[in-house]
Amino acid sequence: MQIDRRQMLAGLSGLALSGVPSMSLARSAMQLGEGAVIALSDGNLVLPASFFFEGLPEDELDLILARHNVPRDELTPPCNLTLLRQPGRTVLFDAGAGPAFMPSTGKLLDSLEAEGLAPDDITHVVFTHAHPDHLWGVLDDFDDPVFGSAELMIGQAEWDYWTDPDTVDTIDEGRASFAVGAARRLSAIEDQVTFFKGGDEILPGVMAHSTPGHTPGHMSFEIRDGTSAVMVIGDAIGNDHVAFERPGWAIGSDQDTDLGAQTRVRLLDQLATDDIAIIGFHLSHGGLGRVERAGDNYRFVAKDA
């Protein structure tokens, strides 16, 4: 069956691709003071490449994809959630896709179990944004909260956008199911939610950075202990090939493609200049690594490559 952009955005690709095996559950980690930052796998997406690359310069795009051994027709980006384990708290950044989005996703609980953790051990869940692969894992098959003991934290602008009843009519038609799904899940967890804005220290040593474009209220998070730091970038930098080599290109996976490109250019410059480690939700090798300059552009250097 041929999967088009509209089907994927409506969440139907999971049904169409139910026979596609998921990738192995990658894990990468770094020490941070007395604690650890761990990238945990929720599986992987299966998407048509046109979702990301439609309208980009074909010849140059083909050269970049070939250089990174990225297929031209279909992509299987990993989903790397971030776990912060410190004395007195266990913080999860994003909640994964859960059981309802794609059969190749929803592996987070297995990854937590491998760490010796159950959902009730999570003290905080902090959201980068409310797209399905980041939010829908807050509810189980019975629509009960998965992280019932946790404080759930989301940027005020992101909450306002997805809970606005007008969003489903103003978002592009293909993403309407995202709006419906986000509003339903956010309503179900409202009693557990607290809000923040860019620039807030949301937890001791955790600073929120506004990185809009992929969604209107997308956030990244700088986790710091003394001179050591790692930036949880969510989908602000959505892949480790085109987004690094041509950060100024408008990429179709961003809701506001121009703003997404501006954010990406600014963020990559900051990360390379400050030499801060990153965890990217859809980057390879567990998503943990660093940004290096490569001429006028950048490259991703994975910790576990």
pLDDT digits (tens, 9 = 90+) for 56-74: 999 999 999 999 999 999 9
Which residues lie closer than 8 Å to 298 by C-beta, 6 or more apart?
A: 244, 245, 247, 268, 272, 291, 292
Distance in angstroms (rounded) separating the CA atoms of residues 142 and 190: 17
Tokens of 265: 């250019």
In the structure, what pLDDT confidence band is assigned to residue 26 with cuts at 50, 70 and 90? Answer: low
Best CA proximity match to 209, nearest among 233, 183, 237, 188: 233
Q: How confident is the model at residue 286 (pLDDT cuts 50, 70, 90)?
A: very high
Write down all domains in the chain, each with its CATH number in brackets: 5-302 (3.60.15.10)
pLDDT at 186 over 70: yes
Residue with tokens 């139910």: 18
Residue 161 predicted with pLDDT over 50: yes
Note the pLDDT tens digit of each residue in 78-135: 999 999 999 999 999 999 999 989 999 999 999 999 999 999 999 999 999 999 999 9
Contact present, 105 and 136 (Cβ < 8 Å)? no
Residues in CB range of 177: below 8 A, 6 or more apart? 9, 10, 11
What's the per-residue H, E or C state across 87-131? CCEEEEECCCCCCCCCCCECCHHHHHHHCCCCHHHCCEEECCCCC
| pLDDT, tens only, 275-285 | 999 999 999 99
Q: Residue 208: which of 196, 221, 217, 195 has the closest Cα?
A: 221
